Structure 1
Amino acid sequence: MADITHRRVRTNGIWMHIAEKGDGPLALLVHGFPETWSTWKHQIRGLAEHGYHAVALDMRGYGDSDCPADPASYTILHLVGDLVGLIDALGQDQAYVVGHDWGAEVAWHLCLLRPDRVKALVNLSVPYRPRSPQLKPTEYMAAEHGDGFFITQFQEPGRAEKSFAKYDCLTVLKKFLWVNGPDLLAAPPGVEFIDSLETPDSLPLWTTEEELQYRAEKFRSSGFTGSLNYYRSMDRNWELLGPWQGAQISVPAKFIIGDKDIGWQSFGTKTYVEGEFFKGLVPGLQVLVTDGHHFIQLERAELVTAEILSFFGERSGN
């Protein structure tokens, strides 16, 4: 990855690390949990080779970006503000945006709150879901899934950090690579979620020990608290997003998900994505369900890159 350049940019009151390559229209690549900018290594090169300024960022709390100590500094307004500030810092009025996992969640809301700053969106793995008018997210999750559910366990400050600390960072990352079935989203009663995940004996073909070691080193430096604070802000986000109840996303958007993704198999996602309600929230939405698991930008790198280029190109004349 030596041909990719790195720097830190001031945005929304923090210093954000970015990895970039190429010249042309700005394309932002926004990672999820537990990842860093490096999850986009294939897409950075593919976009740059086709005339884009590809910029993959470390989200706040991750990698070489700042990690504010206050959990209240991780609301969806902060995260969207980081992307708006980054677009400004890079001297652009608009950007093409690609998001995965939590990065998809932030990218959906960037389009909801500031559609004027986004030319087109491709999101992976996590669909846009509307705000419930009645229940806070953690209230619903606790009632449906109990204390063993991973998001429920992530709510208490220090709990997940303590359970993660029983393993080295590389082992934690390996455990999350292999969460491949809906039954693994919740631990049995009295068991910490990370303890319920097996440590694989081998890696999937789409990643290497070296690549995971790089990411593990970043988590050894930053810790996991910043990334866990995204989950701890979910109820606060619910409160803040009240004014946008029922609002549609008007930005041209495409959603890609693997048919073996743990999210596809859970929460009624298959029915939701294939139904009309989701498309009604994002008029004109394109959906692609393909063979693959959760980290589809790595597992199906060539396909995902081609879909991104095609979708953006149709909206830019490239």
Structure 2
Amino acid sequence: MEKIQHSTIKTNGINMHIASIGTGPAVLLLHGFPELWYSWRHQLLSLSYLGYRAIAPDLRGFGDSDAPPLPASYTGLHIVGDLVGLLDHLGIDQVFLAGHDWGAVIAWYFSLFRPDRVKAVIILSVPYWPRNPAVKFVEGFRNLFGDDYYICRFQEPGEAEKVFASQDIEKLFEKVLTIGPDPRCVSKALGFGDFEAPGPLPSWLSPDDVKFYATTFKETGFTGGLNYYRSLDLTWDLTAAWTGAQIKVPAKFISGDQDIVYNIPGIKEYIHNGGFNRDVPSLEVVVMEGVGHFINQEKPDQVTAHIYEFIKKF
């Protein structure tokens, strides 16, 4: 069986690590926080078997890719620039794009900024978040959840890093990767990693998986990933020209009904009552019952099937 290949390329002023396997039409897989290319390990193998070239980078700030020190280097424009450079380096004109969590946010931006490079986009967990010209991103979360919400607390450089460093990192990943649906579990009252773990690891998450994440983040730290949150308002500033713009590429959105994002107040209404379709006219929506946030790892075969059934149309 063909093995996943690892390489490093230069793009947009940084060195980016990529994992890739297979030949055929390219599928670019974007991970979230606190994750790595490894989050797509199942889809890399399955999509290559189905006749696709599957590519999963460590995004800027993560894993074996470079991590510029300043939050201002992590706007949506920077990350999409990295990925356009990646496609150029690999000689890929158009790509099927899939993103989860922060990778979903970036995939939406990629589809907005450079629809000419995207055949279709598959989004896991995070719906399109249209820019509100009256309220910056962090202010919006603060208005909804208060100052203790994790995105608000992540804004202060060094604070979250100290909290993470004080914890057993393997236990931290066990908790984060099995997080429940209640958005309040990431408030200050329970700490960044002090919410209760579910007990024994679920069947989809092995001790080796946890160790892979923990070992990597022990080496790299969390600052690169946290800088995505710290650049949210700068991205809001820089994307004013796209206010009201629609995502025109064909899109499929997949969420679990136990996903913490799906259960944020107002999200279900946006997804199911017409707002999402207004912003993304060519849209399919799938909600999987009993599935949490890390959906591509929890239900890898079903997620791969959903991706394949969508992209084989194009």
1:296 maps to 2:287:
no
In the alignment, is the contact (CA less than 8 A) between 2:164 and 2:192 conserved in 1?
no
CA–CA distance in 1 between the matches of 2:196 and 2:279?
37
In the alignment, is the contact (CA less than 8 A) between 1:297 and 1:304 conserved in 2?
yes
In the alignment, is the contact (CA less than 8 A) between 1:148 and 1:192 conserved in 2?
no
Q: Report how far residue 52 of structure 1 moved.
A: 0.8
In the alignment, is the contact (CA less than 8 A) between 1:257 and 1:296 conserved in 2?
yes
1:36 maps to 2:36:
yes
CA–CA distance in 1 between the matches of 2:12 and 2:109?
16
1:46 maps to 2:46:
yes
CA–CA distance in 1 between the matches of 2:176 and 2:112?
29
* Deviations, residues 142-186 of structure 1 (Å, cap 9, x unaligned): 233222211011000001001111113222211212321323132
1:249 maps to 2:247:
yes
CA–CA distance in 1 between the matches of 2:296 and 2:309?
15
Give the equivalent residue in structure 2 for 1:164: 164
1:121 maps to 2:121:
yes
Question: 5+ unaligned residues in a row in structure 1: which ranges?
Answer: none
Residues 132-281 of structure 1: pairs in structure 2 closer than 5 A: 132-182=132-182, 183-188=184-189, 192-195=191-194, 197-281=195-279
1:312 maps to 2:305:
no
* Deviations, residues 6-27 of structure 1 (Å, cap 9, x unaligned): 0111111111111111011111
Q: TM-score, normalised by structure 2?
A: 0.96
Structure 1 vs Structure 2: percent identity of aligned residues?
49
In the alignment, is the contact (CA less than 8 A) between 1:149 and 1:193 conserved in 2?
no
The SS at the match of 1:193 is: coil
CA–CA distance in 2 between the matches of 1:288 and 1:200?
26
In the alignment, is the contact (CA less than 8 A) between 1:22 and 1:52 conserved in 2?
yes
CA–CA distance in 2 between the matches of 1:220 and 1:29?
24
CA–CA distance in 2 between the matches of 1:215 and 1:181?
22
CA–CA distance in 2 between the matches of 1:8 and 1:171?
30
Q: Report how far residue 2 of structure 1 moved.
A: 8.5
In the alignment, is the contact (CA less than 8 A) between 1:72 and 1:233 conserved in 2?
yes
CA–CA distance in 2 between the matches of 1:180 and 1:187?
16
CA–CA distance in 1 between the matches of 2:77 and 2:83?
10
Q: Report how far residue 215 of structure 1 moved.
A: 1.4
Matched residue type, 1:237:
T
Give the equivalent residue in structure 2 for 1:107: 107
The SS at the match of 2:23 is: coil
Matched residue type, 1:233:
S
Question: 5+ unaligned residues in a row in structure 2: which ranges?
Answer: none
Aligned residue-pair number: 312
Q: Report how far residue 257 of structure 1 moved.
A: 0.3
Give the equivalent residue in structure 2 for 1:68: 68
CA–CA distance in 2 between the matches of 1:260 and 1:192?
21
Q: Report how far residue 200 of structure 1 moved.
A: 4.5
CA–CA distance in 2 between the matches of 1:43 and 1:66?
24
Q: Report how far residue 3 of structure 1 moved.
A: 1.6
CA–CA distance in 2 between the matches of 1:311 and 1:2?
24
CA–CA distance in 2 between the matches of 1:145 and 1:221?
32
The SS at the match of 2:120 is: strand
C-alpha RMSD of matched pairs (Å): 1.4
Stretch deviating more after TM superposition (178-187 or 37-46): 178-187
In the alignment, is the contact (CA less than 8 A) between 1:148 and 1:193 conserved in 2?
no
Q: Report how far residue 135 of structure 1 moved.
A: 1.0
CA–CA distance in 1 between the matches of 2:101 and 2:150?
15
The SS at the match of 2:193 is: helix
